[in-house]
Amino acid sequence: MSDDPVVRVRGLRTQFGSHVVHDGLDLDLKRGEILGVVGGSGTGKSVLLRAIVGLEAVQAGTIDVLGQRIGTLSGAERRALEQRWGVMFQDGALFSSLTVRENVEVPLNAVPGLTPEQRRGLAELKVSMAGLPWKANGNVPSDLSGGMRKRAGLARALALDPEILFLDEPTAGLDPIGATAFDTLIVTLRDALNLSVFLVTHDLDTLHACCDRVAVLAERRVLTTGTMAEMLQVDHPWVHEYFHGPRARAAVTKD
């Protein structure tokens, strides 16, 4: 298997009007790792995720995903590549009028040759892999708790057996027990499905529980990357405060 990163970003520049979000940003997601992407509010974590999956215009730089250059692909190539990743957006982005199973079936509609029964069976499998009870298949999102909606979003992200999973703040808004269960699920799925995971988070517990490496966004770029242990040595005011502050100490104490 190739050692090439599954996501390689070089020299990325994004901006909205005169507001430059990223400038000269480099980042690699290695195959099989869970990479935690952290940074202060508004540093561009979500914009970076959206740029990587081709949902955000970029002003300069290159983004390669699974060896293919985003922004240069034909419609057919792009659709084929999109089937190799799954995205769980911060708010779940579920269709409110569809049941959980129907939501998970949406990406499966793009797969030619599947019968309705096969689509249904595959969707139900993903719902159960995301840790939801059988009965949730028939629920609409508004029937579910916030944690269950997150799991439904995860089930949909897993629908096409992706190689890469993009997660935008998966534990935001969950109670600590729900968040811990979600952390465990992410690691279990990575191990079972050999996923590479790009995980945007503010949650120090998630970084400790899940992440092989951390990338810190600051000053419009990836300021530093490394293991949690390496983060403790970084001499930058925001990084130091984040990894040594009271919340960081609480997260370490719980290990």
Ligand X SMILES: Nc1ncnc2c1ncn2[C@@H]1O[C@H](COP(=O)(O)OP(=O)(O)OP(=O)(O)O)[C@@H](O)[C@H]1O
Task: Supply the minimum distance, in Å, between the C-beta of residue 57 and ligand X.
Answer: 10
Position 5 contacts ligand X (CB under 6 A): no
40-48, 114-122, 139-147, 189-197 -> range binding ligand X (CB under 6 A)? 40-48
Under the binding rule (CB under 6 A), the answer on residue 47 touching ligand X is yes
7 binds ligand X (CB under 6 A): no
Q: Is 61 in the site for ligand X (CB under 6 A)?
A: no
Q: Is the dihedral of CA 235, 239, 245, 247 positive or negative?
A: negative
Q: In this chain, which of 29, 43, 130, 167 binds ligand X, going by CB under 6 A?
A: 43
Q: How many residues bind ligand X (CB under 6 A)?
A: 10
By CB under 6 A, tell whether 21 contacts ligand X: yes
The answer to whether the CB of 206 falls within 8 A of the CB of 150 is no
By CB under 6 A, name the one of 2, 18, 41, 96 that touches ligand X.
41
Q: Shortest approach of ligand X to residue 28 CB, angstroms?
A: 19
**163-200 b/e with 16+ CB inside 10 Å = b?**
bbbbbbbbbbebeeebbbebbebbeebbeeeebbbbbb
- Measured from the CB atom, the residue of 163 and 168 that comes closer to ligand X is 168
From the CB of 162, what's the least distance to ligand X, in Å?
A: 21
Q: Which of 4, 16, 20, 121 binds ligand X (CB under 6 A)?
A: 16
Q: Which of 74, 76, 78, 71 is nearest to 51 (CA)?
A: 71
Residue 46 lies near ligand X (rule: CB under 6 A): yes
Between the CA of residue 138 and those of 29, 96, 115, 170, what are the distances in Å?
36, 13, 19, 23
Q: At what angle do helices 116-129 and 100-108 cross, to 10 degrees?
A: 120
Q: Which two tokens stand for residue 29?
A: 């997601």
Contact residue for ligand X among 5, 7, 27, 44 (CB under 6 A): 44
Is 36 one of the binding residues for ligand X (CB under 6 A)?
Answer: no
Q: Is the dihedral of CA 136, 129, 6, 20 positive or negative?
A: positive
Give CA–CA dist 115/136, Å, rounded.
22
Instruction: Name the amino acid, one letter, at 159.
Output: A
Residues that bind ligand X (CB under 6 A): 16, 21, 39, 41-47
